Amino acid sequence: MTQTRDTVLVVDDSPETLGFLTEAMEAEGVIVLVATSGRQALAIAGRITPDVVLMDAMMPEMDGFEACRSLKTMPALAHVPVIFMTGLTETEHIVRGLAAGGVDYLTKPIDLDELRARIRVHLANARASLSAQTALDAAGRHLVALDTDGRIVWATPQAGRLIDDLGIAGAIEAAAANEGGQLELVIPGAPPMLLAPLGSAGPGERLYRLARSATGEADVLKSCFSLTAREAEVLLWIGRGKTNKDIGEILGLSPRTVNKHLEQIYAKLGVENRASAALKAAGALREG
């Protein structure tokens, strides 16, 4: 679809549709997240910000219209294009989808060429409409800008919530005042966090990315699913959209060894493919 690794969240209660779209988009190098309900979609999007959402209109409990409206109330997700999918062609459903905040409408069965074209258009439109700090805010990334004394000047919405929830403003300012490269923040009662410098954010401001450390996330997965340390590392990188080749290079493993770890991971998680494994990993990290 593009040369960058776009992330698409597919929301549908049909396993056949999820499998069909996942296979087609992964073949194009797209990172695919899957949800089988509106509530699950909200939970996943709150953890991993997608570039675009493909939303089934009619689902039990929370339908696609309600899920879309909820997504659009979240500042970090309001910019994400939502494309509705449904077998219904009545005008009232098209109107409902657009009124809920959707940008487009596809009728099932999905034509892949049409889907690719519409995703390209809406991604380009969404990105073109954002600028500088607005883009950072809307992207839902955990970014924070500090002044030369290490004081927090501004943060993206998700970073601000994380800082407040963990009470780590003081730890961030103390660590940043020391200058240097990537810093690990160890906060009692909270998971280890990384503060990674990204460069200048403007006159007298430095931009940092705030993230849970890979060590901390792997420990969460290890504990949650009774994995070995290496299996937890492999699952962590699966959740980040890496291919087997990528994981092998990152962890210093052969593709054959990565595959063997995957077999064990699937068995322990009770899943059959990497998309389902990534979904479970995201859920565990969200809860952990």
Task: Tell whether the model's pLDDT for residue 138 goes beyond 50.
Answer: no
Closest CA to 213 of 197, 231, 240, 195: 195
Between 184 and 145, whose confidence is greater? 145
Phi, psi of 106 (to 5 degrees): -120, 140
Q: What does the domain layout of the chain look like in residue ranges?
A: 7-129, 141-212, 215-287
pLDDT at 249: 81
Of 82, 114, 124, 121, nearest to 101 by C-alpha is 82
How much of the chain exceeds pLDDT 70, in percent?
A: 84
The burial of 4, by beta-carbon neighbours within 10 Å (0-12 exposed, 13-18 middle, 19 or more buried), is given as: exposed
What's the pLDDT score for residue 53? 95
pLDDT at 274: 86
User: Torsion over CA of 218, 220, 226 and 227, rounded to 10 degrees?
Assistant: -10
R_g of the chain, CA atoms, integer Å: 20
CB within 8 Å of 172: residues ≥ 6 apart: 144, 146, 150, 152, 163, 185, 195, 208, 210
Q: CA geometry: angle at 193 spanning 192 and 195, to 5°?
A: 150
Global model pTM greater than 0.75? no
Question: Is the pLDDT assigned to residue 246 strictly greater than 90?
Answer: no
Give the lowest-confidence range in 27-36, 37-46, 182-191, 267-276: 182-191
Contact 97, 66 (CB under 8 A): no
More confident residue, 2 or 257: 257
pLDDT at 247: 87
**3-class secondary-structure state, position 138:** helix
Residue-wise pLDDT for 272-287, tens only, equals 888 888 888 888 876 6
The CATH number given to 215-287 is 1.10.10.10
Domain topology for 141-212: Beta-Lactamase (3.30.450)
User: Which of 44-53, 72-81, 163-172 ranks highest by mean pLDDT?
Assistant: 44-53
Name the residue with tokens 């730890």: 171
Q: Which residue has the higher pLDDT, 246 or 215?
A: 246
More confident residue, 245 or 140: 245
Say whether pLDDT at 251 is over 90: no
Confirm if 44 and 18 have CB atoms less than 8 A apart.
no
> What integer is the mean pLDDT of 119-126?
83
Give the number of residues written for the chain.
288
- Ramachandran angles phi, psi of 199, nearest 5°: 115, -165
CA distances from 54 to 74, 97, 124, 225, 278 (A): 17, 12, 16, 29, 18
What homologous superfamily is domain 7-129 in, according to CATH? Response regulator (3.40.50.2300)
Asked if residues 54 and 9 have their Cβ atoms less than 8 Å apart, the reply is yes
Which tens digits make up the pLDDT trace of 191-227?
A: 667 777 777 766 677 888 777 666 667 888 888 899 9
* 149 vs 156: CA distance, rounded Å: 20
| Alpha carbon distances (Å) from 262 to 224, 225, 255, 265, 288 | 16, 13, 10, 5, 22
Closest listed residue to residue 242, CA positions, set 287, 277, 284, 192: 277
Task: Kindly list the strands in the beta sheet with 104-107, ordered across the sheet, starting from the edge strand earlier in the chain.
Answer: 31-35, 7-11, 52-56, 82-86, 104-107
Averaged pLDDT score across all residues of the chain: 81
